[in-house]
Amino acid sequence: MLITFIRSIVLYIIVLVVMRLMGKREIGQLQPFELAISIMIADLASIPMTDPGIPIFNGIIPILGLLIMHLIISMINMKSSKAREIICGRPSILIYRGKINENNLKKERFTINELEERLRGNNVINLGDVEYAILETSGQVTVILKPDKRNTIPQDFNIMPDYEGIPYDLVVDGEVMKENLKAIGKNYNWLKKEVGKFNMKPEEALIVTLDGKGQMFCQKKEKGV
């Protein structure tokens, strides 16, 4: 029992490291070859995990082999557009200039109901509002609305908003993010002074953020939580 427990932990760590080395894509954004490798890794890890009679290296070595294969394919994809097209495929236009492309729907084995479902996932209720719908190689559907159906942006009114930049987490659950402080050219004493305006110390804060306009958000941790 203890051996099985230890083997499970070891294999979990190996799989976790391998998946991290494969990149940061979300599951729904995996390319076909990445999904295939992920499934195979899960299967290879489960065999030695549940059967103590199988040497643990019988699972680890094939998993590392798949990692190497993944890295090679990824490198080929970056170097060759032709290879990328063969391995990953190419995007398919399901709606072109407001008209559903029936041939591409049949080719991709997409029903009208599935198309409508994907559009609703993009907050589009009416098919008539869509100018283009593109099935990406990852399986995601990108939707481009007709010009008169798109949300307005400041540029439509000749307005140039101020640059906002990105917000920085300065404290997370009482831990001071020293690297982020350094990135904005501040130090702990400055942070302590600013957080003090909220009647607390940095270590007492649940979250402290600073946006590109210099506005700070600060919330204190609840006691006993």
Strands 99-100 and 216-220: unpaired
CA proximity to 19, closest of 57, 63, 78, 55: 63
Q: How far apart are CA 79 and CA 217, in angstroms?
A: 44
The overall pTM is greater than 0.85: no
Predicted local distance difference test score (pLDDT) of residue 191:
95
Buried b (16+ CB within 10 A) or exposed e, 173-190: eeebbeebbeeeebeeee
Helix (H) or strand (E) holding 170: strand 168-172
pLDDT band at 167 (very low <50, low <70, confident <90, very high): confident
Task: Report, at the CATH architecture level, how domain 168-220 is classified.
Answer: 2-Layer Sandwich (3.30)
DSSP label of 97 = T
Asked whether the predicted pLDDT for residue 27 surpasses 60, the reply is no
Domains 92-149 and 168-220 share a fold: yes
Highest mean pLDDT among 43-52, 61-70, 138-147, 154-163: 138-147
pLDDT band at 176 (very low <50, low <70, confident <90, very high): very high
Instruction: Give mean pLDDT, residues 53-57.
Output: 78
CA proximity to 45, closest of 78, 20, 23, 18: 18
Instruction: Give mean pLDDT, residues 69-76.
Output: 82
Task: Report, at the CATH architecture level, how domain 92-149 is classified.
Answer: 2-Layer Sandwich (3.30)
Q: How far apart are CA 16 and CA 10, in angstroms?
A: 10
Q: How far apart are CA 63 and CA 39, in angstroms?
A: 11
pLDDT in tens, 192-224: 999 999 999 999 999 999 988 888 999 998 876
Percent of the chain with pLDDT over 70: 91
Amino acid of residue 212: G
Task: Please give the mean pLDDT across all residues of the chain.
Answer: 83
Asked whether the predicted pLDDT for residue 1 surpasses 70, the reply is no
Instruction: Give the strand order in the sheet containing 216-220.
Output: 175-176, 168-172, 205-210, 216-220
Phi first, then psi, for residue 141 (nearest 5°) are -110, 120
**Where do the domains of the chain lie?**
2-86, 92-149, 168-220
Predicted local distance difference test score (pLDDT) of residue 81:
74
